[in-house]
A and B are shown apart, each in its own frame.
Chain A
Amino acid sequence: MSDIRKSLVDIVGERGVSDAPEELWFYSRDPGVLAPHRPDYVVAPQTTEEVQKIVRLANRQKIPVIPMGNGMSLAGLVIPLKGGIVMDMKRMNKILQVNPMARYVVVEGGTSQGALKAYLQKNHPTLRHSIPDAPPATTIAANVSLHGQGRLTNQYGFNSDMVTGLEVVLPTGEICLIGSPSIGPYWISKGPTLPDLSGLFLGWLGCTGIITKVGLKLYPNKKIRDAELFVTDRVDLIPHILYKLTHLEMLEDINVWFQPKPLMFLGNFHITIFFTGDTAEEIEFKRKMIWDTLQEYMDSKDGGFMAIQYMKSVLLEMPGRNIADFADVPKGGGFEYSGPIAPIEHFPQYAAKLVELAAKYNVLYASAARLISGGHAMMFSISFAFNRNDPAMMERVENALDEAMAFALDMGGIPWKPNFKEQKMTLERMEPNARNLLLMIKNNLDPQGIMNPGNWEVNA
């Protein structure tokens, strides 16, 4: 093994490799509930070529490589289930180019959401990207590797839909450009009008290669953002309310959330409605449209708007810094959520299941759903908080999440950022020919099975 260490040092230098107990301990776990597993090495490359050399080495030595952003999926997706090399991508953090007219940016495979946000704010204030509510240290490449969603997903689809081209290091070490950059200098399309090869990497959780560059669509950054908060205690009305709101076709984002704590939130479902405008008139116009469309629920006293002046700045933050607060409610720094993608009409059933599971496993729940593409689907988050110093509570959360995913699959939902167990459940239900196609692709791209093994493993 020390030969491998030496080879790694040759590639990335002493400061880029560690097999010290401290790093091995830390990089063997994520903040979720899944059991840790120790890597053999942690490396932090700075260039695509270094990534390539590491992957070639790993191929020769048949040792796993696990690309990692900030490890915030909470689903253990960067836990080296079979040991090997954890590759911390965060030193590849450059913003390579912005094409303001074509509204896209090209970033390296470890560039963080926070860095891009700050960069655009400073250099291109009329442009923005679809920021997820994940902590700012999380990376853009990781986010598209798991089909993340952000502030603009309601308008424009999954964040991975916004990719405009990729550079990837294949599991066999070739550096490969995907989409329009494979033909010419512009990063304007990840696939169309060619056969769309980006699907070989987006959503694969690092199992089919390492993304070293991402082209990403940017969108207009309007001067003013605002929000309204509508509440109702009738869960059965939620799908209808969402239908009406999405019909307006003018909202930035819509989130539905409910949680039993603090007490003021108990018993109600909260719909945060974000909208934007370049002038006060545009904002007021949209606000009126929102109120008008929901007036019938006010008249029937079933729903109403909260006065939110005092919490508006918190609501409008991107990413939402207070989202992680939930983790500390049991005074223990942990929460994990799974977020099945489901039709909006199933909101009431999911909500009921969440409350049922929380009671059954005696854990604290919260949920925040985000609309996708104007209402074709939603991400329904099933979140449970836990105390990291209470292993029994962590086990209960793990079991509750397992049961939640089984329920979601029964309901015809599909899993988002599934952990290895949930991937297995999903594959078992997958139509066999589709499963075989997946297997064929994975085996062809990664003949040695070195890329993030334990994930998307298809047992034929």
Chain B
Amino acid sequence: MTYVRHIEHENIVHRCFRCGYCRYPSNYSDFNCPSYKAFGWDTFAPGGRMWLTRAWLAGEIETSARFAEIMFSCVACDNCKNQCVFPKFKDFLPDIFQETRAELVGEGRIPPGVRDYFKAIAVNGNPYKLPQSERGAWAAGTGLKPFNNHKYLFYTGCVGSYDEVGQRMAKSVGKMLVDAGLSVGILGSEETCDGNDVRVLGEIGLFTQLAQANVDIFKAKGVREIITLDPHALNTFKKDYPGLGGIFQVRHYSEVLAELIRKKKIKLKTYPAKITYHDPCYLGRHQNIYQAPREILKAVPKAELIEMHRHGPNAFCCGGGGGNFFTDILGTAESSASRVRVREAAETGANILAVSCPNCAKMLSDAVKMEHLEDRMEVLNLAEILERARK
């Protein structure tokens, strides 16, 4: 078949069998592709996206709002990459969806929410359309200082900087790092959006601009080691920044906190609670970090960690990945990812849903309200849980 449009991995799209293994966790207990779960059409499953991409490349279907919706409702959770049964091409599934989105961006045919997102970031530097000068405001009272030859840069990202729930996480983590005696500073108003989700949504030009700005300032400030609040930032710093000359030692704060506990820099009393932990896609499947957060929770005396049915590599996304946190293409219906996920969390009987990513924190906090689970379950980030155990 000759294609009239082109993407990098076009020589693979015809190899999808559309068998549908990709929409499941490894034990097939429920649908694990958030987009398929929400929309319920085969076209919204990874295999559907593969087949439609091929049809679209071949000109058998045209660019349309529906096609864009199908492509942009993929939250880049990487479940399909893990579950597809064809080892020779499974690794490229999310890339193919990203490349298709990039083509749509090129054609200028993207959902309004995505357009607004790009525009806000291009104009304001953040999707909240808030002034850059307020980017570091959250740090007040944490003891965090502007980065100045510190050993570590604590990189916050847009959600941690501007969103209320995100700020809560940034504050508690930041304070904990300072309290543990780490030499750590922040960039505050000099920080730029990490661009991970911009890239995933296919705006490679804007991403490169953002990333380059970060790389430049990191270098100018002499940054060597970075602790990220947001697993999304962790992901792009590790995967994409080196290609732009940005080679730093990057860790997620959960890895750092786990180490501080191990080294007894953070001491814990007891905190009797039943905790279940939600693996963020960008920490888990994308970066293979499953143990550090669990190590933290298991270190809390009297706390009990109860796993959700789907966890680790099989975790179900909160629905906030791949820019959906802002663009909200998945919507908030009963079958939307965040609501499904908090119901699953509640099933464990846990009274705390532990999160380690600011996007998940916000998505799941909202969903707990929508599901009227506030009385049964509290969404807390890892540092907040440690905070309670320190009292």
B partners with A: yes
A-side residues, CB < 8 A to B, are 15, 18, 20-23, 25-27, 31, 42, 44, 70-72, 88, 90-91, 112-115, 117-119, 121-122, 135-137, 321-322, 324-325, 327-328, 331-334, 387-389, 391
Shortest C-beta distance, B118 to chain A (Å), equals 24
For B1-35 the 0/1 string (1 means CB < 8 A from A) is 10000000000001111111101100111100000
What CA separation (Å) do A371 and B136 show in the bound complex? 69
Of B15, B40, B70, which one neighbours A332 at CB under 8 angstroms? B15
What CA separation (Å) do A15 and B333 show in the bound complex? 11
- Complex A-B: 20 CB contacts under 8 Å: A15-B40, A18-B41, A21-B62, A22-B52, A23-B41, A44-B41, A88-B41, A114-B24, A118-B29, A118-B30, A119-B29, A135-B19, A135-B20, A136-B21, A137-B21, A137-B24, A324-B17, A325-B85, A333-B86, A388-B14
Please name all residues of chain B whose beta carbon is closer than 8 Å to the beta carbon of A334 when the two chains form the complex: 17
Shortest C-beta distance, B54 to chain A (Å), equals 8
What CA separation (Å) do A101 and B99 show in the bound complex? 53
Contact across chains for B28 and A136 when beta carbons are under 8 A apart: yes
What CA separation (Å) do A147 and B85 show in the bound complex? 26
The chain A residue sitting closest to B48, CB to CB, is A26
Please name all residues of chain B whose beta carbon is closer than 8 Å to the beta carbon of A23 when the two chains form the complex: 41, 43
Please name all residues of chain B whose beta carbon is closer than 8 Å to the beta carbon of A72 when the two chains form the complex: 19
Shortest C-beta distance, A457 to chain B (Å), equals 27
Of B15, B28, B55, B309, which one neighbours A25 at CB under 8 angstroms? B55
Contact across chains for B30 and A22 when beta carbons are under 8 A apart: no
Known: A328-B15, A332-B14. 8 other contacts (CB 8 A): A18-B41, A26-B43, A88-B41, A91-B40, A135-B21, A137-B23, A328-B89, A334-B17
Please name all residues of chain B whose beta carbon is closer than 8 Å to the beta carbon of A70 when the two chains form the complex: 20, 42
B372 within 8 Å of A (CB atoms):
no
What CA separation (Å) do A21 and B1 show in the bound complex? 20
Please name all residues of chain B whose beta carbon is closer than 8 Å to the beta carbon of A22 when the two chains form the complex: 43, 52, 61, 64, 66-67, 70
Please name all residues of chain A whose beta carbon is closer than 8 Å to the beta carbon of B333 when the two chains form the complex: 15
What CA separation (Å) do A122 and B310 show in the bound complex? 13
Contact across chains for A333 and B41 when beta carbons are under 8 A apart: no
Shortest C-beta distance, A233 to chain B (Å), equals 29
Query: With A333-B14, A389-B1 in contact, is A27–B42 under 8 Å at CB?
Result: yes
Question: How many inter-chain contacts with C-beta < 8 Å in the A-B complex?
Answer: 108
What CA separation (Å) do A143 and B287 show in the bound complex? 39
What CA separation (Å) do A135 and B231 show in the bound complex? 33
For B51-62 the 0/1 string (1 means CB < 8 A from A) is 110010000111
Shortest C-beta distance, A392 to chain B (Å), equals 12
B88 within 8 Å of A (CB atoms):
yes
Shortest C-beta distance, B160 to chain A (Å), equals 34
* Residue of B14, B28, B309 with most partner-chain A CB within 10 A: B28
What CA separation (Å) do A68 and B89 show in the bound complex? 28
Please name all residues of chain B whose beta carbon is closer than 8 Å to the beta carbon of A115 when the two chains form the complex: 28-30
The chain B residue sitting closest to A21, CB to CB, is B61
Contact across chains for A25 and B52 when beta carbons are under 8 A apart: yes
Of A90, A321, A331, which one neighbours B15 at CB under 8 angstroms? A331
Within 8 A of A (CB), among B63-90: 64, 66-67, 70, 85-86, 88-89
Of B24, B52, B88, which one neighbours A328 at CB under 8 angstroms? B88
Shortest C-beta distance, B158 to chain A (Å), equals 31
What CA separation (Å) do A112 and B30 show in the bound complex? 10
The chain B residue sitting closest to A390, CB to CB, is B1
Contact across chains for A15 and B64 when beta carbons are under 8 A apart: no
Please name all residues of chain A whose beta carbon is closer than 8 Å to the beta carbon of B241 when the two chains form the complex: none
The chain B residue sitting closest to A118, CB to CB, is B29
Please name all residues of chain A whose beta carbon is closer than 8 Å to the beta carbon of B29 when the two chains form the complex: 114-115, 118-119, 122
Main SS of the interface on chain B? loop
What CA separation (Å) do A21 and B68 show in the bound complex? 12
Of A21, A71, A117, A325, which one neighbours B66 at CB under 8 angstroms? A21
Contact across chains for B24 and A136 when beta carbons are under 8 A apart: yes
Contact across chains for B27 and A118 when beta carbons are under 8 A apart: yes
What CA separation (Å) do A91 and B39 show in the bound complex? 10
Please name all residues of chain A whose beta carbon is closer than 8 Å to the beta carbon of B85 when the two chains form the complex: 321-322, 324-325
What CA separation (Å) do A136 and B40 show in the bound complex? 16
The chain A residue sitting closest to B66, CB to CB, is A20
What CA separation (Å) do A15 and B30 show in the bound complex? 20
Contact across chains for B14 and A21 when beta carbons are under 8 A apart: no
What CA separation (Å) do A332 and B54 show in the bound complex? 13
What CA separation (Å) do A71 and B42 show in the bound complex? 10
Contact across chains for B43 and A333 when beta carbons are under 8 A apart: no
Contact across chains for A389 and B52 when beta carbons are under 8 A apart: no
Please name all residues of chain A whose beta carbon is closer than 8 Å to the beta carbon of B14 when the two chains form the complex: 332-333, 387-389
Please name all residues of chain B whose beta carbon is closer than 8 Å to the beta carbon of A327 when the two chains form the complex: 17
What CA separation (Å) do A118 and B15 show in the bound complex? 28
What CA separation (Å) do A331 and B19 show in the bound complex? 16
Please name all residues of chain B whose beta carbon is closer than 8 Å to the beta carbon of A387 when the two chains form the complex: 14
* Residue of B42, B51, B60, B70 with most partner-chain A CB within 10 A: B42
Query: With A20-B64, A22-B66, A25-B52 in contact, is A42–B41 under 8 Å at CB?
Result: yes
Shortest C-beta distance, B221 to chain A (Å), equals 48
What CA separation (Å) do A114 and B27 show in the bound complex? 8
Query: With A20-B64, A26-B51, A328-B15 in contact, is A137–B20 under 8 Å at CB?
Result: yes
The chain B residue sitting closest to A388, CB to CB, is B14
Please name all residues of chain B whose beta carbon is closer than 8 Å to the beta carbon of A135 when the two chains form the complex: 19-21
Query: With A18-B41, A26-B51, A118-B29 in contact, is A333–B17 under 8 Å at CB?
Result: yes
Please name all residues of chain B whose beta carbon is closer than 8 Å to the beta carbon of A321 when the two chains form the complex: 21, 85
What CA separation (Å) do A391 and B14 show in the bound complex? 12
Shortest C-beta distance, A422 to chain B (Å), equals 22
The 9 closest A-B pairs by CB, nearest first: A114-B28, A137-B20, A118-B29, A333-B15, A135-B19, A136-B28, A388-B14, A20-B66, A389-B14
Please name all residues of chain A whose beta carbon is closer than 8 Å to the beta carbon of B30 when the two chains form the complex: 115, 118
Please name all residues of chain A whose beta carbon is closer than 8 Å to the beta carbon of B1 when the two chains form the complex: 389, 391
The chain A residue sitting closest to B20, CB to CB, is A137
Please name all residues of chain A whose beta carbon is closer than 8 Å to the beta carbon of B309 when the two chains form the complex: 122
Shortest C-beta distance, B331 to chain A (Å), equals 10
Shortest C-beta distance, B95 to chain A (Å), equals 17
The chain A residue sitting closest to B309, CB to CB, is A122
What CA separation (Å) do A202 and B16 show in the bound complex? 31
What CA separation (Å) do A22 and B51 show in the bound complex? 10
Please name all residues of chain B whose beta carbon is closer than 8 Å to the beta carbon of A112 when the two chains form the complex: 28
* Residue of B19, B62, B70, B89 with most partner-chain A CB within 10 A: B19
Shortest C-beta distance, B113 to chain A (Å), equals 18
Shortest C-beta distance, B23 to chain A (Å), equals 7
What CA separation (Å) do A113 and B21 show in the bound complex? 12
Shortest C-beta distance, A199 to chain B (Å), equals 30
Shortest C-beta distance, B45 to chain A (Å), equals 8
* Residue of A20, A137, A322, A334 with most partner-chain B CB within 10 A: A137
Shortest C-beta distance, B332 to chain A (Å), equals 13
Contact across chains for A15 and B62 when beta carbons are under 8 A apart: no
What CA separation (Å) do A22 and B41 show in the bound complex? 10
The chain A residue sitting closest to B86, CB to CB, is A328
Please name all residues of chain B whose beta carbon is closer than 8 Å to the beta carbon of A90 when the two chains form the complex: 40, 42
Please name all residues of chain B whose beta carbon is closer than 8 Å to the beta carbon of A121 when the two chains form the complex: 27
Query: With A20-B66, A23-B43 in contact, is A333–B16 under 8 Å at CB?
Result: yes
